[in-house]
Structure 1
């Protein structure tokens, strides 16, 4: 815990100073002819429209300049298929073109498929495919674009893309369930933490991770609640949600790797001083180095992902290169934990202890593998379901993992068989409680 706190503060300051905020689907910015020339069309945003009443509204400040530049908005589907085409051919493949000739214009989006599909919005003008140097000054155009899907009544008032619809309600249900569970078990957990015992530090780290996960859900809900009204939301809250999730992941990695590399679990270690590193310099260096490297890698990949993917609204989406590398890192961690726990279980003769280690392994592997597995499974779903399947699945699986670990750490009867301290130092007195499976 002493190592985690200063690292958390440092990460927070870096995150708030350098991370771009999460942008919503009411978009403010400038149309730039230079940016359009460099990219064969200036990329604005992506949105999954659904239904027959989907709508896009643009507002423009300098209409006269836009008309002189022959400015227009182009809407594409399957934009990546046209990357290898020439500029003129690429722009000609647009499914929909809107000339920017008014201060405000409402454009109904045609319903082209049974399931929602992504539409990409690009800006272009007469200079976009111009190869020679342009002598005149190309003035930028300030704009506002609002994107709407039909709501339950069929009116175009819903700012959420089809891939994000329903997440707002899920976070509300999750928070209500979290508060209800906290009201029931908070007193029991507080007594366990106050009493101390062999798993005291592990319980503190696990509780911190759980509180950060709840904080992440709360900040996400606040962001999405405002986003539902104005399409912008509370970007700072969205950033805090992603930061809390990142620190929660670091807490869990710190605890799980530490337990597997010399803390508490192995019966060959001394149990009189729980959660202390083994006295061997080699094992100490290996454990500390593994935790530090993993934390640095995960933090670096999460930072990289934020700068690479500016369209995401969920920190579980991970559709970018950095996100995929982050998923791969969790697979490596799961394999590392599996190999360590396998050696411990194989050398253990007591069936009760083996059951304890196996239950611990299930909790660990569920935390690390749920994300990679759900990313793979989401590929079988339609595009507008993938983000929701991954986001909801990861939150639920990691919550189940925390419950599994809590039950192990708080269950006196089994831990009595695994560890050697007297019953006075154990977290709880549950040996006669039938709710404890051991």
Structure 2
């Protein structure tokens, strides 16, 4: 059921999304414009007809005196970095001279989504020896708008962020439906305890944190769709909850694998497959969690332009190191599980470990694999493919692990325990006849 919902979410979001826009506020600074050969303001990916840029100033008289202007470049990318200051100012696709408090600039039709860069310059930008007079900085608000479904420039997302708002809404809907169906039996299993009680608690905590992250992202994007600013606190909370969920899952998976390996020689047959804690397994799990948390924080600090707090597609050094860490951990877990499976005589236990391996590999490898596969998509689709794909794959991984650890028949036989003590048993009667 969950897999069908996940596939439906991907189809709806990727095929039914529309291009939207954003809002930027700040100060135009002459000194910064000179240092950067034009002060960088923002980038925006326009799509279709009726794109619009609106700039509002608080001191148009000062802007006229400084010959202030806004420069728009279409699809230039890093090419601008190789140009001299005069060349950079001369090749702008549009130049908006500030002689009024509000300026509207229509964007020509885009046959495909194209990134536009916005820079600020004035009379002092290319004059290195000129003295910049002491004057207040210009306060501005810039609205960058793509057309909505009716063709009017009213919405507030760049083309690469289109559809994320709808995705998080559908994701929350799926979480709500799943909670309505499975909350009661899951709470009964947690109250009852059992050999995998700790695993179920960590899984439930990680899934709840993912739900909190999705809710915060939805609230942030719901406001963002109206004003182009959103609620930055909610975006930051979404990042935080997701990072805690990632670290929790990493700690659990490493603890289980390493603990099983270290405890195989001394584990009594009456308590197989349980969470075997030791100094070594705890050290490995905590170390992996700390490294991942540090990389996630570093990645967020380096992502200054993200408006929808999507770290999954960040192509920065910490982002690449994070993917390398996940690949390395997947190889470590593969080695550990291979050692366990190769020496295990019980077919049921081998099936248990193989199913556990599927959940682990899906969790760790979905981000690197989707990142590599995203190159076949258009530029404006790559971030969405990676972000949506990672969230769905990790949710499916949790479902696989839940099914494994809550299995009534397979786990009853593997654990060699009385079915009365297992999670999600049907009733205390008729078990002996059934098993």
TM-score range relative to shorter protein: 0.7 to 0.9
Deviation at 1:425, TM superposition (A): 3.3
Q: Is the deviation greater in 264-273 or in 87-96?
A: 264-273
Instruction: Note the 1:212-251 alignment, pairs <5 A.
Output: 212-251=209-248
1-structure distance, mates of 2:195, 2:132: 75
Q: Secondary structure at the match of 2:259?
A: coil
1:297 corresponds, among 277, 286, 291, to 291
Q: Secondary structure at the match of 1:106?
A: strand
1-structure distance, mates of 2:301, 2:34: 22
Deviation at 1:121, TM superposition (A): 0.9
2-structure distance, mates of 1:240, 1:53: 34
1-structure distance, mates of 2:53, 2:241: 33
Partner of 1:68: 65
Q: Deviations over 1:155-192 (max 9, x none)?
A: 00011111111111111111111111110111110111
* Preserved CA contact (<8 Å) 1:316 1:387: yes
Q: Secondary structure at the match of 1:412?
A: coil
Partner of 2:301: 307
Pair 1:288-2:282 in alignment: yes
RMSD value, Cα: 2.2
* Preserved CA contact (<8 Å) 1:413 1:430: no
Deviation at 1:396, TM superposition (A): 1.0
Instruction: Note the 1:177-216 alignment, pairs <5 A.
Output: 177-216=174-213
Partner of 1:141: 138
Partner of 1:9: none
Q: Which runs of 5+ in 2 are unaligned?
A: 1-20
Partner of 1:167: 164
Q: Secondary structure at the match of 1:163?
A: helix
Deviation at 1:426, TM superposition (A): 2.4
1-structure distance, mates of 2:344, 2:271: 20
Pair 1:260-2:254 in alignment: no
Q: Is the deviation greater in 299-308 or in 203-212?
A: 299-308
Deviation at 1:204, TM superposition (A): 0.1
Partner of 1:20: none
1:80 corresponds, among 65, 78, 81, to 78
Q: Deviations over 1:66-108 (max 9, x none)?
A: 1122111111222301212222222323222211221001111
Partner of 2:368: 372
Instruction: Note the 1:348-359 alignment, pairs <5 A.
Output: 348-359=344-355
1:104 corresponds, among 94, 102, 105, to 102
Deviation at 1:321, TM superposition (A): 2.1
Deviation at 1:317, TM superposition (A): 2.2
Task: Using structure 1 for the length normalisation, give the TM-score.
Answer: 0.87
Task: Using structure 2 for the length normalisation, give the TM-score.
Answer: 0.88
Pair 1:123-2:135 in alignment: no
Q: Secondary structure at the match of 1:253?
A: helix
Q: Measured at CA, do residues 242 and 378 of structure 1 come closer, stay the same or move farther in structure 2, by a change above 3 Å?
A: same
Deviation at 1:109, TM superposition (A): 1.0
